[in-house]
């Protein structure tokens, strides 16, 4: 058939945005040609509700009351630690706010506490120390068994938290800058002693809000909630040079009920990537990521993907729901990465309303990603990849429509593609599939043979049930976090 060139119109609809420049792009809803909705296009509501209020803290102090100096030169690690230690006494009294006024606040790593709001002035910049000794060494994550890039321990993130509830990191678009270039150099010239630190990492925590800020130049991944529940990330900008190594944007890892919306992300690796541990360590730790809602994301990644899952997915990833995604100048639009040895599963993934501009691979599923923590992984631990629905995708200047590679003896099933129109750069730039099974409907260029069945029953393709759209949505508002955190 070929519906290329048969778009009727681009239909604009408006609401929340994170980056004014991007408004007209990711609010585009693709309305496809001739026939209309595919058999499985059950309407669904996305309820990542706009928060109506922030947590009001009865007490507030400024970092300057603890001797901090915002000259960009004085090291303020002690001031942050002392302020937070002091504020601990308010945690059973509704919590407290630590305010960071205008200025450049150099610091090493510090740890947050429960019931804390870290609030930055719009002209406040927290900058990470360039001395690696200001980033302590901590245990590797149990679900990785070792540091992600070097065996053994790893550096602690600049802003760190463990075992917390009810934490807010916010500001009127103030900045947290990791000054990562020195770490990228150590990485590039092989002189790191331990795995690089993230900019923000929160472990085993519940009820987190990260909003209204700019995060820059992370040494490694930018925001890493791991073993967390109820995470709300909204209206943030994440920036790192397009050639900086592994500077992922947001990495929900073995975490549940996560909402990410209205963000602009431009980094050197995946913009948003959902993970759950690595090979035998992830399999035995068995902490899945599920109920992940993503909406209104705009950005670019020259060597990564806009929305990715894996490659560390050994604890399982399910119920991922992403929409209004606009990716430009990137290697991949949407990518699922896995490998023999990972085990785990990726299932019940629903991605819709995607616009891709100047993207090499619009959609990629890679069943042979490789990268193992050590030689002890089980090569027969095969991932179970199932129920992946991708619909309403519009792309221009796409080099490869789709490279979808399952694993021999481990077919990736129920892959459903619908309402996809990609303006590809050549006649060979079509779909290339192996060891996958599924359906397609209104896909241009024509999808591969393995996916050419048209479903005759709406239940064959995964689509979140209407009343399940609250899976993180209902919890995707500050009030429910606050309620939860006060339990
Ligand atoms: C696809 O791109 C080519 C070259 O840029 C352009 O001529 C053509 O009109 C585009 N087709 C559609 C359907 O947008
Ligand atoms: C985390 O919380 C658990 C349960 O309250 C406690 O046993 C453990 O010691 C805490 N760990 C740290 C590092 O605070
Ligand atoms: C996003 O952040 C900016 C800067 O802090 C603020 O002006 C704007 O109102 C925020 N938008 C939303 C939707 O929260
Ligand atoms: C926040 O600041 C960043 C970096 O200066 C800027 O690119 C972005 O547009 C600002 N965001 C908002 C919502 O004002
Ligand atoms: C590696 O990079 C660091 C940081 O830029 C630099 O200090 C060091 O001299 C470099 N080492 C080598 C062997 O190039
Ligand atoms: C690595 O260890 C060496 C030897 O202890 C030390 O001189 C160097 O500063 C360390 N480099 C980093 C990036 O931590
Ligand atoms: C972000 O800032 C805007 C404007 O000040 C405010 O209305 C909104 O509640 C803030 N969002 C969050 C999640 O804190
Ligand atoms: C098409 O996309 C590629 C990246 O995949 C980019 O290098 C090239 O400049 C783009 N072409 C146009 C005409 O924008
Ligand atoms: C399909 O992809 C495989 C693996 O990347 C590659 O070896 C093969 O040449 C591709 N086939 C076509 C027809 O492009
Ligand atoms: C796959 O999706 C279908 C349709 O939504 C659903 O009935 C089925 O339970 C899902 N399979 C798994 C393994 O969750
Ligand atoms: C969702 O709807 C189904 C069928 O309409 C119903 O059986 C189920 O109880 C509902 N679940 C919730 C959580 O409301
Ligand atoms: C995911 O969301 C559903 C629907 O709201 C809820 O029933 C389920 O408990 C959530 N899963 C987790 C792991 O919290």
Report whether pLDDT(257) > 70: yes
Q: What is the mean pLDDT of residues 316-331?
A: 97
- b or e along 444-470 (b: 16 or more beta carbons within 10 Å of the residue's beta carbon)? bbbbbebbeeebeeeeebbbbeeeebb
Residue whose CA is at the smallest distance from ligand 1 atom 6: 423
- Counting residues of the chain whose pLDDT is more than 70, the rounded percentage is 84
Ligand index nearest the alpha carbon of residue 42: 10
170/26: higher pLDDT: 170
Q: What is the mean pLDDT of residues 249-267?
A: 97
- Counting residues of the chain whose pLDDT is more than 90, the rounded percentage is 79
Residue whose CA is at the smallest distance from ligand 8 atom 10: 358
Report whether pLDDT(7) > 50: no
Q: What is the mean pLDDT of residues 437-454?
A: 93
Q: What is the mean pLDDT of residues 53-66?
A: 84
Residue whose CA is at the smallest distance from ligand 2 atom 11: 163
Q: Tokens standing for 173?
A: 């678009």
pLDDT band per the 50, 70, 90 thresholds, residue 30? very low
Report whether pLDDT(361) > 90: yes
| pLDDT tens per residue, range 188-220 | 999 999 999 999 999 999 999 999 999 999 999
Q: What angle do CA 357, 364, 299 make, to 5 degrees?
A: 35
Does any domain span residue 11? no
282/35: higher pLDDT: 282
Q: What is the mean pLDDT of residues 28-36?
A: 34
92/18: higher pLDDT: 92
List the one residue out of 120, 121, 113, 213 whose CA is nearest residue 166.
113
* DSSP output for 3-16: -TT---EEEE----
Q: Mean of the per-residue pLDDT values for the chain?
A: 87
CATH (domain of 146): 2.160.20.10
First to last CA, the chain: 56
197: left (phi over 0), alpha (psi -120 to 50) or beta: beta
- How far, in Å, from the CA of 458 to the mean position of ligand 11? 17
CA distances from 355 to 11, 190, 319 (A): 13, 37, 22
Is the pTM here over 0.85, yes or no? Answer: yes
What pLDDT does 466 receive? 53
Report whether pLDDT(27) > 80: no
Does any domain span residue 27? no
* DSSP output for 319-369: EEEEEEEEEEEEEEEEEEE--TT--SEEEEEEEEEEEEEEEEEEEEEES--
- How far, in Å, from the CA of 130 to the mean position of ligand 5? 13
Report whether pLDDT(72) > 70: yes
pLDDT band per the 50, 70, 90 thresholds, residue 55? low
Cα torsion 476, 480, 482, 486 to 10°: value is -140
269/467: higher pLDDT: 269
What pLDDT does 479 receive? 40
Does any domain span residue 379? yes
Report whether pLDDT(249) > 80: yes
Report whether pLDDT(33) > 50: no
Establish whether residue 467 lines the binding site of ligand 11, counting it when its CB lies within 6 angstroms of any ligand atom: yes
pLDDT band per the 50, 70, 90 thresholds, residue 458? confident
The residues carrying an active-site annotation are 269
Establish whether residue 474 lines the binding site of ligand 11, counting it when its CB lies within 6 angstroms of any ligand atom: no
Ligand index nearest the alpha carbon of residue 429: 9
| pLDDT tens per residue, range 467-478 | 444 333 333 444
What pLDDT does 382 receive? 98
- How far, in Å, from the CA of 50 to the mean position of ligand 11? 24
**What are the pocket residues of ligand 6 if the criterion is a CB atom closer than 6 Å to any ligand atom?**
132, 186, 191-193
Does any domain span residue 35? no
Residue to mutate (ligand 9; options 432, 434, 448; most atoms within 8 A of CB): 432
What pLDDT does 464 receive? 84
| pLDDT tens per residue, range 403-423 | 999 999 999 999 999 999 999
What pLDDT does 457 receive? 76
Residue whose CA is at the smallest distance from ligand 9 atom 5: 403
- How far, in Å, from the CA of 312 to the mean position of ligand 2? 26
Q: What is the mean pLDDT of residues 368-391?
A: 97
Does any domain span residue 368? yes
What pLDDT does 330 receive? 98
Residue to mutate (ligand 11; options 467, 468, 473; most atoms within 8 A of CB): 467
pLDDT band per the 50, 70, 90 thresholds, residue 25? very low
Range of the domain at 57: 46-485
β 154-155/137-138 pair status: antiparallel
Q: Report which ligand 2 atom has the smallest distance to the Cα of 163.
A: 1
Residues 6+ apart with CB under 8 A from 388: 336, 346, 347, 349, 365, 412, 414, 415, 416, 438, 462
Does any domain span residue 448? yes
Report whether pLDDT(43) > 70: no
List the one residue out of 253, 240, 249, 335 whose CA is nearest residue 292.
253
Q: CA-to-CA distance for 353 and 10, rounded, in angstroms?
A: 11
Does any domain span residue 88? yes
Does any domain span residue 2? no
- How far, in Å, from the CA of 23 to the mean position of ligand 4? 14
- How far, in Å, from the CA of 460 to the mean position of ligand 7? 40
Range name among 35-49, 113-127, 172-186, 363-377 with the lowest pLDDT average: 35-49
Q: What is the mean pLDDT of residues 390-397?
A: 97
How many domains does the structure of the chain reveal?
A: 1
* DSSP output for 35-96: T---TT--------PPP--PPPPSEEEEGGGGT---EEEEE-HHHHHHHHHHHGGGTTTT-E
3-state secondary structure of 397: strand
- In DSSP terms, 326 is beta-bridged to 298, 355
Q: CA-to-CA distance for 404 and 411, rounded, in angstroms?
A: 11
């Amino acid at each position: 058939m070929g519906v290329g060139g048969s778009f009727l119109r681009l239909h604009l609809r408006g609401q929340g945005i994170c980056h004014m420049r991007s408004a007209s792009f990711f609010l585009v809803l693709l309305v496809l040609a001739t026939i209309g909705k595919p058999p499985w296009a059950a309407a669904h509501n996305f309820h990542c509700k706009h928060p109506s209020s922030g947590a009001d803290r009865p007490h507030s102090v400024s970092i300057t009351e603890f001797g901090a100096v915002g000259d960009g030169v004085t090291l303020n690690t002690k001031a942050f630690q002392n302020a937070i230690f002091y504020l601990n006494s308010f945690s059973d009294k509704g919590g407290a706010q630590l305010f960071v006024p205008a200025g450049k606040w150099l610091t090493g790593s510090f740890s947050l506490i429960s019931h804390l709001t870290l609030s930055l002035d719009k002209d406040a910049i927290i900058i990470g120390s360039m001395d690696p000794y200001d980033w302590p060494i901590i245990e590797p994550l149990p679900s990785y068994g070792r540091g992600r890039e070097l065996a053994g321990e790893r550096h602690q993130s600049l802003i760190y938290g463990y075992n917390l509830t009810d934490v807010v990191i916010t500001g009127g678009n103030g900045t947290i800058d990791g000054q990562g270039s020195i770490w990228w150099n150590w990485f590039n010239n092989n002189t790191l002693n331990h795995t690089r630190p993230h900019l923000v990492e929160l472990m085993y925590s519940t009820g987190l809000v990260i909003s209204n800020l700019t995060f820059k130049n992370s040494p490694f991944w930018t925001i890493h909630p791991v073993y967390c529940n109820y995470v709300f990330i909204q209206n943030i900008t994440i920036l790192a040079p397009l050639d900086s190594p592994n500077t992922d944007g947001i990495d929900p890892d073995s975490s549940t009920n996560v909402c990410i919306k209205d963000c602009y992300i431009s980094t050197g690796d995946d913009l948003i990537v959902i993970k759950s541990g690595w090979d035998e360590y992830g399999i035995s730790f068995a902490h899945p990521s599920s109920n992940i809602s993503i909406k209104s994301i705009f950005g670019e990644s020259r060597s990564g993907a806009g929305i990715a899952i894996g490659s560390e997915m050994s604890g399982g990833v399910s119920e991922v729901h992403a929409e209004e995604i606009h990716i430009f100048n990137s290697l991949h639009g949407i990518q699922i990465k896995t490998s023999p040895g990972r085990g785990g599963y990726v299932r019940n993934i629903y991605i819709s309303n995607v616009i891709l501009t100047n993207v090499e691979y619009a959609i990629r599923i890679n069943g042979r990603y490789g990268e193992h923590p050590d030689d002890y992984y089980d090569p027969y631990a095969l991932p179970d990849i199932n129920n992946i629905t991708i619909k309403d995708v519009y792309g221009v200047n796409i080099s490869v429509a789709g490279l979808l590679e399952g694993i021999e003896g481990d077919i990736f099933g129920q892959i459903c593609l619908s309402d996809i129109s990609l303006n590809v750069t050549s006649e060979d730039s079509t779909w290339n599939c192996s060891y996958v099974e599924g359906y397609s409907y209104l896909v241009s260029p024509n999808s591969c043979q393995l996916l050419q069945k048209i479903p005759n029953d709406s239940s064959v393709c995964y689509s979140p049930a209407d009343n399940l759209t609250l899976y993180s949505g209902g919890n995707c508002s500050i009030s429910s976090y606050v309620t939860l955190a006060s339990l």
